[in-house]
Amino acid sequence: MVKCFEEARQYFKSFTFSEEGNTRLFPVDNNAETKIETAEINGTAIPWFINEYWTARQRQAASIHEISYRACFKAQLPRFFIELLTEQGDTVYDPFSGRGTTVIEAGLLGRRVISNDINPLSKKLTYPRLAVPSPAEVEARLEEIPYDESLKADLDLSMFYHPKTEAEIVSLKRYLDEKKRNGCEDDVDHWIRMVATNRLTGHSSGFFSVYTLPPNQAVSQESQVKINKKRKQKPGYRDTKINIMRKTMTLLKKVSSIQISLLREAAGTAIFLEKDAARTVEIPDESVSLTVTSPPFLDIVQYSKDNWLRCWFNNLDTRKIEKKITMSRTVDEWSLKMGQVFAELYRATRPGGWVAFEVGEVRNGKVRLDDHVIPLGLEAGFRCPGVVVNRQEFTKTANIWGVNNNLSGTNSNRIVLFNKG
C-alpha cells in the first residue's frame, strides 16, 4: 500500500514504489515513459501524470460488470487504484455508485464495500451482483413464476413489446412485487429483478423489446413509435425466461468460484445508502481507505428520464428521483455541492487514506473540472499528489489541455488523486 504523499508522486514518475524494502512494478500497456505537465492551482504546483495506465485489453474486466448504465466508467479504472492503494479487508467507497462498478470491482478484490447513490435503482443493479446465486437456483426460480397471458401493463408499452412478452413482464413484475410486500424477496429474486431490469429494452434479440436504443437509455413511447415507423418494424415475441437465463450465464461466464466467494463475502458486510453524498452519517468517521468515484457532471445526463422504464418495473417514482439528484447547470453550483461532498469524504477517510475522483471533460472540452476539483479537495483538508490522466494512444506530442475525449482517436480519463495526511 502506498503510505504517503511523496510515494504516490514518485510512483507515477517511475511506475515503482517501495514498501518496507520491496519494490513493486505496475504494468503499463504501452511501455511509454510517463509525461508530466504541471500547472499552478491556488498557489500550489500540481502535476498531471499522463500515460496509458490501463486499457480495455489490460486485465480484462470480469463479465459480471456487463450491466448497462449511463455515464459509467470501465472497471479497469477502479481496479488500478484499488490494487495500488488498498489491501484485502480495506473499505472502498463510492458516493455516486451508479451501476456499482467500483463496488463490484472492490468485492472481486476482497475489499469491504460501501455504496451510496441517491437513485434507488443503483442498489437494485449492484447488490445482486455481490450476493450471486447459482445459475441452477435462477433457473429453478424462473420455473416457479406463474405467467398470465391476459395481463397488460398499466401504461402503453405496445410500441416496445409483443403482447405475450408484455404479459410475461407484467407477470414477473407482479410476482416480485408480491414477494417484496410479503418480506420474502431473497437473493435469487434480487438477481432476477436485476437481470430483467437490464433486459427491458435494447438493440438485439437478447432484450425483451423490439429494436430500440442501447439499454442504458430508454426512449419515450413517442420516440419509439417513430423508430418503429422508420425501421418498418413491430415488436416480436421474446421469451423472457430464456433471455434472463442467457444474460445470467453471460454475466457469470468469466467469474471464478473464488471471485464469487469474495463477492458474497463483501455482500455480507456491505453498506448500501441512498443519501445525499454530503450527508452520509451512517459511514463511521475515518473508516474508508479509498474512495473511487465519478460524480454527476453538470446537466449533461438525465438519469431518471433515461431510466423511466426501469423505474416503472421497480415501482420507483422518477419525479422524486429527479428532484433529489444533483444536476447543477453552472460550474459554480456544481462546485458548491462538490465542496460539501469533499468535506464529508474527509470526515469518512482514514488517516493515510485516498480519494480518486474521476472528472469528465464536459461541454466539448471547454470546462476542465479538474481545475475546479483540486481546490475543493485542498480546502477540505486533503493533499493532492496530482492528476492521473489515462490516455489511450498516448504520444509524446499530445497535450492534455483542452483536448476532449474521442478526439482524433484519443480517449482519456482524468482522475484527481487526494490523500489524507
pLDDT digit string, tens, across residues 60-78: 789 999 988 776 788 999 9
> Which pLDDT score, from 0 to 100, does residue 23 have?
32
CATH for 403: 3.40.50.150
Higher pLDDT, 239 or 28: 239
Tens digit of each residue's pLDDT (9 = 90 or more) over 76-116 = 999 999 999 999 999 999 999 999 999 999 999 999 999 99
**Which one, of 381, 377, 283, lies nearest residue 339 by Cα?**
377
H-helix segments, 37-162 = 76-85, 101-108, 121-126, 135-144
Domain that holds residue 369: 5-120+256-309+318-419
Helix, strand, or coil here: 367? strand
* Boundary of a domain, candidates 251, 280, 301: 251
* Boundary of a domain, candidates 236, 251, 266: 251
Contact, 78 vs 101, CB < 8 A? yes
Whole-number percent of the chain with pLDDT over 90? 63
Q: Is residue 128 part of a domain?
A: no
Whole-number percent of the chain with pLDDT over 70? 81
**For residue 310, pLDDT beyond 60:** yes
Helix, strand, or coil here: 282? coil
- The predicted model gives 204-215 an average pLDDT of 90
Q: Is residue 125 part of a domain?
A: no
91 and 108 inside one domain? yes
Sorting pLDDT into bands at 50, 70 and 90, what band is 13? low
115 and 174 inside one domain? no
Higher pLDDT, 151 or 319: 151
Tens digit of each residue's pLDDT (9 = 90 or more) over 160-178 = 999 999 999 999 999 999 9
> Which pLDDT score, from 0 to 100, does residue 406 have?
39
Residue 262: half-sphere exposure toward Cβ, Cα within 13 Å: 18
**For residue 259, pLDDT beyond 70:** yes
368 and 288 inside one domain? yes
Tens digit of each residue's pLDDT (9 = 90 or more) over 357-413 = 998 665 555 677 888 899 999 999 999 999 998 876 544 444 444 444 433 334 578
189 and 74 inside one domain? no
**For residue 30, pLDDT beyond 60:** no
**Overall size of the chain counted in residues:** 421
Stretch among 218-222, 287-291, 303-307 having the lowest mean pLDDT: 303-307
What value does the mean pLDDT of the chain take? 86
> Which pLDDT score, from 0 to 100, does residue 195 have?
98
Residue 46: half-sphere exposure toward Cβ, Cα within 13 Å: 26
264 and 390 inside one domain? yes
275 and 364 inside one domain? yes
**For residue 14, pLDDT beyond 60:** no
Higher pLDDT, 24 or 333: 333
> Which pLDDT score, from 0 to 100, does residue 410 have?
41
Cell 463483501, located at residue: 266
408 and 262 inside one domain? yes
Q: Is residue 130 part of a domain?
A: no
244 and 263 inside one domain? no
**For residue 301, pLDDT beyond 90:** no
**For residue 58, pLDDT beyond 80:** no
Higher pLDDT, 326 or 163: 163
Higher pLDDT, 4 or 210: 210
Number of structural domains in the chain: 2
Q: Is residue 224 part of a domain?
A: yes
Stretch among 42-46, 237-241, 267-271 having the lowest mean pLDDT: 42-46
Distance CA 54, CA 294 (A): 17
Q: Is residue 127 part of a domain?
A: no
> Which pLDDT score, from 0 to 100, does residue 69 have?
78
325 and 364 inside one domain? yes
Q: Is residue 129 part of a domain?
A: no
112 and 181 inside one domain? no
Q: Is residue 370 part of a domain?
A: yes
Contact, 355 vs 418, CB < 8 A? yes
Count of beta carbons in the 10 Å neighbourhood of residue 125: 26
169 and 77 inside one domain? no
Residue 81: half-sphere exposure toward Cβ, Cα within 13 Å: 32
Q: Is residue 155 part of a domain?
A: yes
> Which pLDDT score, from 0 to 100, does residue 74 have?
86
**Which one, of 76, 72, 321, 296, lies nearest residue 198 by Cα?**
72
> Which pLDDT score, from 0 to 100, does residue 3 have?
54
**For residue 136, pLDDT beyond 80:** yes
**For residue 302, pLDDT beyond 70:** no
275 and 382 inside one domain? yes
* Boundary of a domain, candidates 251, 273, 294: 251
